Amino acid sequence: MDTTKHDINTLFAQLGLPNSNEQIDAFIASHELEDTTLLQEASFWDEAQQHFLAESLAQDGDWSEVIDELDVRIRQSK
């Protein structure tokens, strides 16, 4: 049974990125997405990160809500 807490900090750790609140805010502030670009297809992800995001969204599993939160936060940072 997976007891991992699925929040934005844990998502960033899962993606291999710095995951303190300040580091996450800095990442979000420094990245933009075009309206037509899906989050998982953004050029700032490496291949493994893109695969994890796409697979997690396709499965509509535990990570989906947190990934959606990240998507909204990046798009609102414009």
C-alpha–C-alpha distance, residues 29 and 12, integer Å: 15
The pLDDT of residue 1 is 46
Name the nearest CA neighbour of 14 among 42, 41, 51, 44: 51
| 3-state SS class at 45 | coil
User: What are the tens digits of pLDDT across the range 6-65?
Assistant: 999 999 999 999 999 999 999 999 999 998 999 999 999 999 999 999 999 999 989 999
Contact 42, 71 (CB under 8 A): no
The pLDDT of residue 2 is 60
Q: What is the token pair recorded at 20?
A: 């303190």
Give the pTM: 0.91
C-alpha–C-alpha distance, residues 24 and 35, integer Å: 21
Contact 41, 50 (CB under 8 A): yes
